[in-house]
A = this chain, B = another copy of it.
Amino acid sequence: MSNASTGITFPAGFSASGITAGLKTSGKSDLALVRNNGPRFDAAAVFTSNRVAAAPVHWSRQVLSDGRADAVVLNSGGANACTGAEGFANTHATAEHVAKVLGISSGDVLVCSTGLIGEQLPMDKILPGVEAAASALDDGSEFDGGAAAATAIMTTDTVNKQAAFSGTGYGIGAMAKGAGMLAPGLATMLVVITTDAVLEPSQLDTALRQATNVSFDRADSDGCMSTNDTVILMSSGASGVIPEVAEFSAGLAEVCVNLAKALISDAEGAAHEITIRTFNAATEDEAVEVSRSVARSNLFKTAIFGQDPNWGRVLSAVGTTQAAFEAEELNVTINGIQVCRNGGVGEDRNLVDLTGRNVLVEIDLNAGSQEASLWTNDLTHDYVHENSAYSS
């Protein structure tokens, strides 16, 4: 670990930058560059499962086919989705320009974009921006290039999101953006994770899929899946340490869970952060299915906004799933008060305090011993306002 960075330049072997290319009308920074300085260049990624995927997703999926990535360029201010052949050509040209400036192969340059769908990127701003970003690359020794990158990828995020983990002789660092349009298959987000541990691409891939499965896949803000979701994991191997797999996997999962929760807590217009824990399920997948069904109920989400512990809306959502349970054996606890017992009325709902920002809904299926938690937020006037007043 080279420095005091708390993000992607926390592990050794990475430099990063975030600059203003002029893509955002706000004048805020909008282009980030992450470079792996080696000695190894192993990488893996998970992409959106949306079949209407953006040009940079198509490009980056191809780049990763050989398990190697030397750099990532990310822009906010435009998603480059639904932009046809011209959009793909623009992604290609961006990667080529990064490769030329850094003296690497364009086939090892990942590209991520976020912003409005259906508009071409202004390449007359992107290409000079790439040069400026390359000049500003910093490994954390001079200033915090990782934080600058984390800020440049923000869209409606109100804060940048970073996370780090200290392993035995190596580190993991990460940055994320995403606030709204968060849903699984991945939450709608861009995430870059770095490590200086020594791992093969297949090991990175396995660890990354395990980690996203219990983190970003369980953050479901509004049920909407984006065209641009990308989670990248890169290893420089600069620590020279071959990590113990269990420790690395746990550290990676911790970083991803922290970022997933940070995304939910910054979700557009949210007034409550809601954890929906389903337990005593027959399988973990069924626990996820039940929690997700509740997380996607607009009626439940508006009730929480209104500080109404409306457990009937929880049961209505549970009832739409295929999970194993008997309706007359369901229990629901909201913020510690068991408002539904054996499928019927439990403790007095007026005892539930929903004035705070954090809400814990616990659903007891009485059908097994597995559990899972999802994180979501309420459906508020501000959500409607932000998503009706502004295009994205």
Identify the stretch in A12-20, A249-257, A300-308 within 8 Å (CB) of chain B at 4 or more residues: A300-308
**CB under 8 Å from chain B, chain A span 259-310:** 296-299, 302-303, 305-306, 308, 310
| A224 with B52, Cβ < 8 A, contacts A345-B119, A388-B302, A389-B306 known | no
A320 touches B379 (CB 8 A): no
A83 touches B225 (CB 8 A): no
Bound-state CA distance A67–B82 (Å) is 53
| A84 with B342, Cβ < 8 A, contacts A224-B297, A296-B223, A316-B50 known | yes
**CB under 8 Å from chain B, chain A span 333-392:** 340, 342-345, 379-381, 383-385, 387-389, 391-392
B383 touches A302 (CB 8 A): yes
Q: Which of B84, B296, B388 has a CB less than 8 Å from the CB of A303?
A: B388
| A83 with B344, Cβ < 8 A, contacts A302-B388, A327-B52 known | yes
CB of A70 within 8 A of chain B?
no
Bound-state CA distance A49–B322 (Å) is 11
A117 touches B316 (CB 8 A): yes
| A384 with B319, Cβ < 8 A, contacts A82-B343, A222-B299, A312-B118 known | no
Q: Which of B52, B384, B389 has a CB less than 8 Å from the CB of A380?
A: B384
| A312 with B53, Cβ < 8 A, contacts A84-B342, A222-B299, A224-B297 known | no
Q: Which of B118, B298, B344 has a CB less than 8 Å from the CB of A344?
A: B118
Interface residues on A, range: 35 or more
A260 to chain B, nearest CB (A): 19
A14 to chain B, nearest CB (A): 32
Bound-state CA distance A257–B324 (Å) is 34
Q: Which of B226, B305, B330, B392 has a CB less than 8 Å from the CB of A384?
A: B305
B319 touches A225 (CB 8 A): yes
CB of A227 within 8 A of chain B?
yes
7 contacts between A and B (CB under 8 A): A52-B319, A87-B344, A117-B316, A118-B345, A224-B298, A303-B391, A306-B388
Binding site for B on A (CB under 8 A): 49-53, 79, 81-84, 87, 116-119, 180-181, 185, 222-227, 296-299, 302-303, 305-306, 308, 310-313, 315-321, 325, 327-328, 330, 340, 342-345, 379-381, 383-385, 387-389, 391-392
- In the complex, besides A52-B316, A79-B312, A302-B388, 11 extra interface pairs with C-beta distance below 8 angstroms are A50-B319, A52-B315, A82-B345, A84-B328, A84-B345, A87-B344, A118-B312, A185-B320, A223-B296, A223-B298, A299-B387
